[in-house]
Every structure is written in structure tokens, then in C-alpha cells.
Amino acid sequence: MQKWEYLVVFIEDSKVAQDQPEFDRYLDVDKYTQALNTYGEAGWELVSLLTSANGARAAFKRPKVNEDLMLDL
């Protein structure tokens, strides 16, 4: 049976252009995209994203490695 491991991270708002919310929103999208791609490249699949005024909470999962099958190198 497939087992999973989970990871929850908080991606903080950039706060670069708080006085220009329409501009700040685009900066945050770039920051979130970069962070999500980094986790995706490490094998994590995004399962939930919850935004707030200060950033976003992202939950990821990936198949758990069966340690019994791993070889000692």
C-alpha cells in the first residue's frame, strides 16, 4: 500500500510594495511560483494553498520511500 509523507510551509508575503497593492500582488505571485516550483522539483506535490494577509500556507505530499528497499551506499 502506498504511504505518503507531508510537508506544510509558510511562504511569507514580499511586503516590497505594500503602498501599491496592485503591484505587490504580482511580486507575490512570482515569489509563490518560485517557491512552489522549488518544492515540486524536490518531488513534492502541492495539495493545498491557503492565502492570508501575510502570505500563504502550502501543504505538499510525496510518496514515502520504503526504507527497507533502500541500499546502504
Three-state DSSP state, 50: strand
Residue 17 is placed in which grid cell? Answer: 510594495
Q: How far is CA 49 from CA 15, 52, 55, 66, in A?
A: 19, 10, 10, 28
Domain range annotation of the chain: 4-65
**pTM of the full predicted structure?**
0.73
pLDDT exceeds cutoff 70 at 67: no
* Per-residue model confidence (pLDDT) at position 73: 52
Integer Cα distance of 42 and 31 in angstroms: 17
* Per-residue model confidence (pLDDT) at position 32: 87
User: What's the whole-number average pLDDT of the chain?
Assistant: 83
Pick from 1, 3, 6, 14: nearest CA to 65 = 3
* Per-residue model confidence (pLDDT) at position 26: 60
Contact 47, 61 (CB under 8 A): yes
